[in-house]
């Protein structure tokens, strides 16, 4: 595997960052996961824009989009695969132990791993932990993912592939790596960004392409939703057939199935929508 690190393509064995890199020691970093289909990234412009918003939120220098595009193209060319999970990571760089940033400037790396299409239907659980809709990092795609790792492990223990969080005021928020949509009386709703969720790229496309509304939703909307689906880069649109112990019979329901079709058609036509 060849990895882009700080301006050049390197073999995995020689791509090394400092043990004092702040991405590692204090989670001072941001990232993007981009789908790559036969070596071509999907929605890269939107991902780069979000990378810049995340960098600004953390006070990191703006990433150089030309360099990130070059990095992505280089790793995709060096590691051919049918469906890739391209990971762009940008950290505060190595610095002193503690939270103060050093003078060395950021670390940028890009890597790609092979992945497979997610199943069309999945089970989810809800977790008792909350997203903070008013935190300093809310809405930023930072490398501080430990809470998601814990919640996802709990989902796996319960035979589910995703865990959904509410926020501190009891509203539905998002999953560990996905946004959530519910269908009520034939209309599609998803929590607004103010709920504390990540502004997902797939979420934005699903809103544009299906007319889904952004609505404050209480967590217990999941008990009465006709259909529930998730969106994310590696899932696209994925129907939910079980929330905790409650089955949603017939998933994907008609509204979700239509969203899946729209997504397949449009995303297949335009790689940078």
* Footprint on this chain of ligand PLP (rule: CB under 6 A): 33, 174, 177-179, 198, 200-203, 231-233
If the CB atoms of residues 171 and 202 are measured against ligand PLP, the closer one turns out to be 202
If the CB atoms of residues 183 and 193 are measured against ligand PLP, the closer one turns out to be 193
**Nearest residue to ligand PLP, scored by beta-carbon proximity:** 200
Q: How far is the CB of 232 from ligand PLP (least distance, A)?
A: 4
Q: How far is the CB of 262 from ligand PLP (least distance, A)?
A: 16
Rounded Cα distance, 142 and 21, in Å: 15
Q: How far is the CB of 209 from ligand PLP (least distance, A)?
A: 13
If the CB atoms of residues 183 and 205 are measured against ligand PLP, the closer one turns out to be 205
Q: How far is CA 12 from CA 33, 144, 223, 246, in A?
A: 19, 23, 47, 44
If the CB atoms of residues 5 and 205 are measured against ligand PLP, the closer one turns out to be 205
* Residues 29, 142 contacting (CB under 8 angstroms): yes
User: Distance of alpha carbon 72 from its chain centroid, rounded?
Assistant: 17
> Of all helices (H) and strands (E), which one includes residue 138?
none
Rounded Cα distance, 157 and 161, in Å: 9
- Transcribe 166-189 into DSSP letters: EETTSBEEEESS-EEEEEETTEEE
Judged by DSSP in three states, 252 sits in coil
If the CB atoms of residues 21 and 174 are measured against ligand PLP, the closer one turns out to be 174
Q: How far is the CB of 220 from ligand PLP (least distance, A)?
A: 21
Q: How far is the CB of 184 from ligand PLP (least distance, A)?
A: 21
Tell me how long the chain is.
273
């Amino acid at each position: 595997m060849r990895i882009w690190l700080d301006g050049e393509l390197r073999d995995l064995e020689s791509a090394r960052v400092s043990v004092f890199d702040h991405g590692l020691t204090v989670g001072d970093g941001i990232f993007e996961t981009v789908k790559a289909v036969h070596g071509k990234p999907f929605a890269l412009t939107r991902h780069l824009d979000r990378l810049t918003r995340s960098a600004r939120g953390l006070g990191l220098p703006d990433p150089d989009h030309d360099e990130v595009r070059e990095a992505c193209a280089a790793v995709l060319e060096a590691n051919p695969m049918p469906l890739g999970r391209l990971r762009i990571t940008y950290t505060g760089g190595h610095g002193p132990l503690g939270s103060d940033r050093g003078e060395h400037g950021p670390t940028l790396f890009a890597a790609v791993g092979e992945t497979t299409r997610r199943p069309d239907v999945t089970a989810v659980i809800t977790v008792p932990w909350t997203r903070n809709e008013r935190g300093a990092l809310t809405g930023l795609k930072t490398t501080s993912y430990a809470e998601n790792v814990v919640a996802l492990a709990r989902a796996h223990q319960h035979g589910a592939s995703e865990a959904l969080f509410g926020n501190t005021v009891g509203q539905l928020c998002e999953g560990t790596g996905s946004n959530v949509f519910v269908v009520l009386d034939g209309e599609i709703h998803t929590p607004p960004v103010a709920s504390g969720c990540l502004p997902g790229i797939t979420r934005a496309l699903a809103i544009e392409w299906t007319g889904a509304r952004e609505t404050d939703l209480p967590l217990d909307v999941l008990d009465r939703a006709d259909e529930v689906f998730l969106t994310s880069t590696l899932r696209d649109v994925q129907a939910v057939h079980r929330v905790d112990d409650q089955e949603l019979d017939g998933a994907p329901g008609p509204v979700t199935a239509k969203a899946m079709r729209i997504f397949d058609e449009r995303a297949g036509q335009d790689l940078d929508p």
